[in-house]
Amino acid sequence: MGPVDRDPDIAFAGGMIAHHRGAVDMARVELSHHNDTQMRALATGVTTAHEGGIAAMERWMRTGGQPLSTKDPSGHAH
């Protein structure tokens, strides 16, 4: 059993990082191959928000749980 298995916060952050990376990958496909203005705007927003969330959660994991900021890990302001 590794540390991820024993710490639900680390497990949550790791799962959310993977989830957000999947969303960013899908948004990049949209931006590369499709033309609908509304979907491109949504994909741009997803990319911006989720890349920030990924960085924040990775930073949290590296620093052993230091406070992230005034934004939650998904990149959305409170």
71 band by pLDDT with thresholds 50, 70 and 90: low
pLDDT value at residue 44: 96
Q: Which tens digit of pLDDT belongs to each residue from 17-62?
A: 999 999 999 999 999 998 899 999 999 999 999 999 999 999 999 9
Token pair listed for 13: 């952050």
Q: Are 18 and 38 in contact (CB under 8 A)?
A: no
Classify burial at 76, counting beta carbons within 10 Å of its beta carbon; exposed 0-12, middle 13-18, buried 19 or more. Answer: exposed
pTM: 0.71
E strands along the chain, which residues? Answer: none
Q: Which tens digit of pLDDT belongs to each residue from 18-30?
A: 999 999 999 999 9
Whether residue 75 has pLDDT greater than 70: no
